[in-house]
């Protein structure tokens, strides 16, 4: 879910925006449709299991994605470089997201839903396979024995010759990566053929974890701008119009986590789902990951801000579910998550006297960091 660029909106940014609209919508409106149906009444046990499972699944990519974002920020591998979101990107993203959401709404109104979802399925199949493969790679490194014949490969595309030669693609991978890609492809085919909720969740978790790991806010102020803008965006499109409802009901892609409320009755073939959009995981998640990197920068061997924001996320998500279940009405999760995830760490910083230090913390983009590193190396050589 990459939503950051410094130039005018590009195709990846627009695509990420499209994901965000649908995923935020799916959470609220998918659940609303579920609660409104008269064919199935969830048991208290089934409801508790479904919501508890959604909360647990939401926490996994935030926790592990944040931990991996610390390593990612120090990586020199081009394939693992994070995308840095600036204040400019954050300010314009809700506008781009709104335009993309309305565009999807018009598409579903004008064109056949079947063909649009077919194209989306193929698109998200490719993205899902890559995301799941990237997610599995560190795990596979530990699983494979040391005697495993792991060969190195490089995919290199260049343009031009001589001094004008320019790299277009330069990707390094090994045999373990190929095994991960094969396993991910099997899951992808399973999703394409069956649209099974477990396959959907595997892709959804991979998307969320990659988003939290690879999308980096450059400072806390940028995070506040992004979360504040999407707070307004989420509330407006859920409560103000039926656009998000229409897109959510029409959009078929693994951009949500689902869990059946009738699992206890029907097992793995259950079909009445509670849903949570990935936007309600990734957007707060990248802010929580930023606070973890701030904790690391303090070099105090404590994770105060990370844990406070993580607990705030649990509180906000729990409050969302409580209000939705109590009033039987769709709720924009960011309405509760944003104040909690921003407010709790700020209060902690006020008590610790580190508020100024928190807002002064700045992360360089990978390009800037590389330039600074090259500059420092040159200075050392000159000396």
Of 27, 262, 280, 295, catalytic: 280
Do residues 317 and 55 touch, judged by C-beta distance below 8 A? yes
Please, which residues bridge with residue 157 across strands? 169
Tell me phi and psi for residue 345, to 5 degrees.
Answer: -65, -35
Clarify whether 174 is annotated catalytic: no
Catalytic residue among 89, 234, 262, 295: 234
d(CA 214, CA 208): 10
SS3 201: helix
| Strands, E assignment, the chain | 83-85, 152-159, 166-174, 215-217, 256-260, 273-277
Helices of type H across 111-237: 113-143, 175-194, 197-214, 220-235
Nearest to 34 by CA among 255, 212, 262: 262
Count Cβ atoms below 10 Å from residue 209 Cβ, excluding itself: 26
Q: Is 89 a catalytic residue?
A: no
Please list the active-site residues: 234, 280
């Amino acid at each position: 879910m990459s939503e950051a660029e410094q130039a005018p909106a590009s195709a990846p940014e627009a695509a990420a925006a499209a994901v965000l609209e649908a995923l935020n919508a799916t959470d609220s409106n998918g659940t609303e449709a579920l609660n409104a149906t008269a064919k199935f009444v969830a048991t208290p046990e089934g409801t508790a299991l479904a919501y508890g499972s959604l909360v647990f699944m939401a926490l996994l990519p935030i926790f592990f994605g944040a931990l991996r974002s610390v390593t990612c920020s120090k990586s020199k591998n081009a394939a693992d470089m994070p995308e840095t979101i600036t204040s400019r990107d954050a300010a314009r993203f809700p506008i781009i997201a709104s335009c993309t959401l309305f565009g999807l709404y018009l598409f579903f109104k004008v064109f056949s839903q079947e063909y649009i979802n077919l194209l989306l399925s193929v698109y998200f199949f490719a993205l899902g396979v890559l995301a799941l493969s990237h997610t599995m790679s560190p795990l596979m490194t530990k699983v494979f024995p040391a005697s495993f014949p792991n060969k190195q490969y490089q995919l290199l595309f260049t343009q031009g010759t001589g001094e004008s030669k320019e790299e277009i693609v330069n990707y390094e991978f090994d045999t373990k990566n190929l095994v991960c890609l094969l396993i991910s492809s099997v899951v992808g085919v399973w999703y394409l053929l069956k649209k099974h909720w477990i396959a959907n969740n595997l892709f959804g978790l991979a998307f969320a974890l990659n988003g939290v790991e690879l999308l980096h806010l450059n400072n806390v102020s940028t995070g506040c701008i992004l979360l504040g803008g999407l707070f307004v965006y989420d509330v407006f499109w859920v409560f103000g119009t039926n656009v998000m409802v229409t897109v959510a009901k029409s959009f078929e892609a693994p951009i949500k986590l689902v869990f059946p409320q009738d699992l206890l009755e029907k097992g793995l073939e259950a079909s009445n789902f509670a849903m949570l959009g990935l936007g309600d995981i990734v957007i707060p998640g990248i802010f929580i990951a930023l606070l973890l990197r701030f904790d690391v920068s303090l070099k105090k061997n404590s994770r105060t801000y990370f844990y406070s924001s993580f607990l705030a996320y649990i509180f906000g998500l729990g409050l969302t579910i409580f209000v939705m279940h109590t009033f039987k009405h769709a709720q924009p999760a960011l309405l509760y998550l944003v104040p909690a995830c921003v407010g709790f760490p700020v209060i902690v910083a006020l008590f610790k006297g580190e508020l100024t230090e928190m807002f002064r913390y700045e992360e360089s983009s990978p390009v800037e960091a590389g330039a600074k590193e090259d500059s420092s190396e040159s200075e050392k050589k000159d000396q």
